Amino acid sequence: MYPVLLNLHSYLSYLVLAALFFAALSAFFGFSGNRPFTERDRKVALIGLIAAHTQLLIGLILYFVSPRGIANLSAATMKDSASRLAALEHPLTNLIAIILITVGYSRAKRLKNDRARFRSVFLLYGLGLILILSRIPWRNWVG
């Protein structure tokens, strides 16, 4: 079960990164082009949100079943950068990133001004994407 979840989490990362990048890029062009926020724009942002939340769910399951997750939290883990990344930095930073993405989508739904909607998606999805990219364990990434 663990190897299947680990591979799914790893390969789904490509979809998540692409969806978030596309949503942020689309919002940037919508903001800079001063165009109306359409149903298509909402759906693009929603796809990024759903992909990120699916990845979070798989990641949370992995965190509790992986020998490198919560079971690995100790003082010795904090001294080893690779172990600290897997047990603490990667899950915590990505949780913060997904919270930002969720806030970005929720704000865009509530706001009435189209520029403000695009700005919310662009800034918060962009920040979330940067945080996710900063904590990917590149050496261990399957794919």
pLDDT, tens only, 18-52: 999 999 999 999 999 989 999 999 999 999 999 99
Cα distances (Å, whole numbers) of residue 44 to 39, 40, 58, 87, 113: 9, 6, 22, 32, 18
Tell me the domain boundaries of the chain: 2-140
Contact (CB, 8 A) for 5 and 117? no
pTM of the predicted protein model: 0.89
**Distance between CA atoms of 100 and 119, rounded to whole angstroms?**
13
Higher pLDDT, 136 or 76: 136
- pLDDT of 142 reads 54
Give the pLDDT of residue 98. Answer: 97
pLDDT tens-digit series, residues 59-76? 999 989 887 777 777 777
Top mean pLDDT of 81-85, 119-123, 131-135 is at 119-123
pLDDT at 36: 95
Check: CB of residue 55 under 8 Å from CB of residue 132.
no
How many Cβ atoms sit within 10 Å of the Cβ of residue 32?
A: 11
pLDDT in tens, 86-111: 778 889 999 999 999 999 999 999 99
